[in-house]
Structures are given as structure tokens and as C-alpha cells.
Structure 1
Amino acid sequence: MRTLICGSLAYDTIMVFKDRFKHHILPEQIHILNVAFLVPDMRREYGGCAGNIAYNLHLLDGNPLIMAAVGDDCEPYMLRLKKLGLDATHVRRVPDTYTAQAFITTDLDDNQITAFHPGAMNYSHENRIGEVRDVSLGIVAPDGREGMLQHAREFHERGIPFVFDPGQGLPMFDGAELREFLRLADYCTVNDYEAKLMTERTGRPLEELAREVRALVVTLGGNGSRIYADGSVIDIPAVTPEALLDPTGCGDAYRAGLLYGIEKGWSWEKTGRLASLMGAIKIAHRGGQNHKPTRAEIAARYRAAWGEDLD
């Protein structure tokens, strides 16, 4: 059986400004802002939540199936998915659009100015869960607003358990919509900021929201993660990474570990430990999809970190 990954495919263009924004953005002139930054260093990465999650699940020898919408400029990404052996049968090409993309400029203080173009992602609702066969688990990751709502409802209608992962898309939804997502979903995963925003919008404490799903997972960055499940709270320590290079895509790597453990029917302790390890492996590499550990190497890292076998 396969895991259906609903979310975005995107290009990330990352530029480095070798100075500090504060030297060029003057507070007293903000009302007539007109600045240009010379960025001699630039790279283009493959990203998007669906792409990143599927990539990491594939590293674990999982069986991900991507559902996303892309534009006319998608060919490099589609060739990459084919080369990696990732199933893109349900990646829809939307004519006369661009694939979603982020343009990120970073200065020497690690401040960022980002412009995000959703492009074809806005048509994600044209993809239908009912068109997919042999799926035992799913995830609704950040995507077009209507697509996220529709896919959650379709997973529920078909009786397919799924993870609700609102991510940076959470601000698009009001309290009633977030409560609906939790009612439909089997699992939910957010970071600590998103958890606070969810409690504010729903007007309910986290412990009460956790009772709506089988498990509510809150990631806490370098402080690990916390899993609310079966009436208890399980604290998962962070795994010490080999380097702290780039946090981009760490949450997606973590979610791949969650999906793998859920699919395998593991305990929440073991599932959380694998998820924590996947995030630690990712953060030591730039970009969301440039780490390349083998399944055996992941298993060895797991044993070294937790003193138990992965399988």
C-alpha cells in the first residue's frame, strides 16, 4: 500500500546578500522604499512540502505517491522525480501557470526577505483523492487553500487515515475551519508557533484539541518534540546533528518519519525518535532534498542515537 502526499511542489531560489539589510533599509525612508541588493551567490533548490516529504519517505524505503499541481516550467522537477523513482502519476500540470516558487534573499545576519508565488498550487483542488487507488495513509500538507479543505474531506469520506499538516498555510483558515480539519483528520502535526496560533484561532487549549485526533504532534526545534496521544504526553528529545547548516525542509523530513512510523504501526516513542533523527539528518545539508543517506545509514544513525534497532 502507498502513502499519498498532498501538498506543494516548488522551486526555491535562494540568494545571499553579503551585507546587512539594516545598512540599506532606513527606517525614516521606509515610506518611499526603493532598494536593490547585489546577490553574487544564488542557487535553485527543489522544494515544496509534498516534494520534501516524499523525498524523505523514499529514503526510508517508504512508498510515497505525490499529489500536487505544477506549471509549464515543471519539466526539470518532473525529470528529477522520475530519476529518483518517485511516483508522480497524480502531479497535475496546469497550463499557462508557473510552478510555485519562493525567491529568498538572505543577509549576513540571516535575516530573510521572501517573495512567494503560488502559481499552479492554487489549482490543487482539481486533484481528486477518489482518482487514487491502493492508498492506506495520507497527509494534507501546505497547498492551495481550497485543495487542502477538499483533500481533507475526501480522505475522510473514503476512510483513509491522514495527517493534517497546516504548516505555513495555517493562517489561511479560521477557527471553524481548523476545528473541521481536526474533526476529519486522524493525526495533526504543527510546530510550536503554529500550535499557539491554532489555539488562538479555535479558542481551545492544546490538550483539548489533542482529544480530537489520535495524536497531536508539536515540534519544538532544538528542544525536540512533544506528542499528545492516548491521554498522555510523550517528550521526544532532539537528535544532535552533525552540523547546523540549513533548517529549510527539516519539518518535512520529520513528517516523513512520522508517516513511516504510523504506516508500520510503531509506538509513538519509536515513531517520534525516527522523525527526530530525520530532521537532524536534513539540517546538516543545504536545501530540502540534498541529503542522501542510504536506508542502512539511517538505521545505523538511529541505533547510535537511541540504542535500539530501527527494524
Structure 2
Amino acid sequence: MNALICGSMAYDTIMVFHDKFKNHILPDKLHILNVSFLVPAIRREYGGCAGNIAYNLKLLKEEPFIMATVGHDFEPYAHWLSQHRIASRYIKVLDDHYTGQAYITTDVDDNQINAFHPGAMNFSHLNSVPVDSEIGIGIVSPDGKQGMQEHAEQFAELGIPFIFDPGQGMPMFNGEELLHFLDLANYATFNDYESELLQDRTGLTLEQIAEKVDALIITLGSHGSQIYTQGGCIDIPAVAPAQIVDPTGCGDAYRAGLLYGLMNDYDWEITGRIASLLGSIKIEHAGTQNHTFTMTEFKQRYQQSFGSTF
């Protein structure tokens, strides 16, 4: 079974300011804000939700296909995907646009000032879910609004089960639109903040939302996650990382674990634990696609973490 990963591709430019923002921003002068931060530490990472999910799923020895729109500056990222044998046949290059760009400045207190240029991502609707492939499952992750809506419709029309994962794209949708996604999707996943926003915008409780899908997954950071399915709720424990280096991309790693479990017909207890472990491994490394492991190493750590195997 192959997985189609619909979502963003982006370059993450991460800068570190060796001081505190609060020492340089005057609260009573915010209306005339004009500040500059010296950032002696900088790095550029490959990111975007689709890229991150696919990278993690490939580590688990599955075959992800990324479907995304990118810009004329995509060549270095394309080379990276090729090095890791991640298929790019459904990635469309738009020569008049940039690939999505995230600029993240972090201070010594881990506060962040971010700017994001969506670029080619805004045209994700120019791609369509392929009808003549061996896609067995999909995910609709953060992307252009029209693209997310159309790809969900296409998965449903083709009878391909998929996960609805709006992530940071949640604010784009009103309650009616979110309910329609849930009517189309087989599974849905949100973090704790997004789940609160979902309830506020739809007027439904988590239990009511869970009735609309086969499984509703809520991630709770260091408190683990919860999977609502078949009228019950399964608590999935968090895996304590060896060290906390960078939480960016942990949610994407977790979602790759969900896809892996579904692709291999594992029950939700095992699927959730695989996802939890994958997120923990990611947090131990800087960037979203710099961690690596063999399946033997992953299964050994799973056994150490949960006292069982899969």
C-alpha cells in the first residue's frame, strides 16, 4: 500500500538571537515598532508538513508519495528527496513562484518571531489526487485552502481513506467547512489547542466529533495523546526523549506513525504508540528531517519504551 501525502513543502530558515526579545521591545512603543536583531547562528532546513511526514514514513520503510506545489527554487530540496528515495512524481513546480518559506527567529527563552511566505503552496489546487495509481491511503495536511478542500473531496470520491490534519491551517476554515471535512474523512487528528478551536467553531464536543470519523486523534504534547474510536477513548503514553532539542516537526512525525499503523493494519494501541515514539525521536534532533534509525533500532526502542513488540 502506498500513501499520498498532500500538504506543504517549505524551506525553514532558523535564526538564533543570543538575547531576549523583551530586552529590546518596549511595550509602550509597540505602535512604532522598529527593531533589528543580530543573529550570529543560522541554519536552513528542509521542511513543510508533507515533506516532514513523508521523510518519517520513509524511515519506517513505507512508500510515501508527496503531492505539493513548489517554486523555481526547489532544486536543492528535490535533490534531498532523491537522496532519500522519496518519490516526487506528484510534486508540481511553478516557475513564477517561490517554494514556501518560513523564517523563524528564536531568543534564549525559546520565544519565536516567525514569518511565513506560502508561495507556490497557494496553488495546491492545481494538483489532483491521481486516479490511476496504487494509492491506498492519504492525508490532507496544511496546504492552500482550496487545495485542501478539493483533495479531501477527491479522496472521498475515489474511495481512498484519508486523515484530515488541518494543523496550522485551522484558522482558514469556519465551522461549516470543518464539519464537511469531517464528513468526508475517515480519520482526523488535532493537537490540544486545535481541538479546542474545533469544538468552538463546530459547537460539538470531542465525543460528538468522534462519531463522525472512524478515529479522532488528539495529541497532548508531553502528556501523550488520546484516540477516540468505537465509542471509547484510548490513552497513549508519551515517550520520554533522551534530550529535548527541537520540537519543530514532532506533530508531523506523529502523523507519519499514524499512517504507518493504518497501512499495516495495527490496532490503535500499537498505532498510537508507534506515533508517540516517532515524535519523541524527532524532538531529540534539530530540524525536522535530520533524525535517522533502522527498523531494528526502532523496534528495540519500542520494546524498551512500552515493554512489548509489534
Q: Secondary structure at the match of 2:46?
A: strand
What is the CA–CA distance in structure 2 between the aligned matches of 1:12 and 1:90, rounded to whole Å? 22
- Shift, 1:29, TM fit: 1.1
What is the CA–CA distance in structure 1 between the aligned matches of 2:28 and 2:74, rounded to whole Å? 42
- Shift, 1:271, TM fit: 0.4
Q: Secondary structure at the match of 1:121?
A: helix
What is the CA–CA distance in structure 2 between the aligned matches of 1:233 and 1:131, rounded to whole Å? 35
What is the CA–CA distance in structure 2 between the aligned matches of 1:284 and 1:257, rounded to whole Å? 17
What is the CA–CA distance in structure 2 between the aligned matches of 1:84 and 1:265, rounded to whole Å? 25
AA matched with 2:7 = G
Alignment map for 1:147-296 (pairs within 5 Å): 147-296=147-296
- Shift, 1:27, TM fit: 1.0
- Shift, 1:44, TM fit: 0.3
- Shift, 1:294, TM fit: 1.2
Question: Between the two proteins, what is the percent identity of the paired residues?
Answer: 59
Find the counterpart in structure 2 of residue 141 from structure 1.
141
Q: Secondary structure at the match of 1:53?
A: helix
- Shift, 1:301, TM fit: 0.7
Find the counterpart in structure 2 of residue 39 from structure 1.
39
TM-score (norm 2): 0.99
Find the counterpart in structure 2 of residue 126 from structure 1.
126
What is the CA–CA distance in structure 2 between the aligned matches of 1:131 and 1:72, rounded to whole Å? 27
AA matched with 2:191 = N
* TM-superposition CA deviations, 1:176-233 (whole Å, max 9, x none): 0000000000000000000000000011111100100000000000000000001110
Find the counterpart in structure 2 of residue 300 from structure 1.
300
* TM-superposition CA deviations, 1:123-173 (whole Å, max 9, x none): 100000035510000000000110000000000000000000000001100
- Which consecutive unaligned segments of at least 5 residues does structure 2 have? none
Relative to 1, partners in 2 of residues 1:123 and 1:131: Cα closer, same or farther, differing over 3 Å?
farther
Find the counterpart in structure 1 of residue 10 from structure 2.
10
What is the CA–CA distance in structure 1 between the aligned matches of 2:43 and 2:86, rounded to whole Å? 23
- Which consecutive unaligned segments of at least 5 residues does structure 1 have? none
Runs of at least 4 residues off by over 2 Å: none
AA matched with 1:259 = L
Q: Secondary structure at the match of 2:5?
A: strand
Find the counterpart in structure 2 of residue 22 from structure 1.
22
* TM-superposition CA deviations, 1:72-125 (whole Å, max 9, x none): 100000000011000000000011100001000011111100000000000100
Find the counterpart in structure 2 of residue 86 from structure 1.
86
* TM-superposition CA deviations, 1:42-73 (whole Å, max 9, x none): 00010000000000000001111110110010
What is the CA–CA distance in structure 1 between the aligned matches of 2:185 and 2:74, rounded to whole Å? 30
CA RMSD in angstroms comes to: 0.7
What is the CA–CA distance in structure 1 between the aligned matches of 2:240 and 2:24, rounded to whole Å? 37
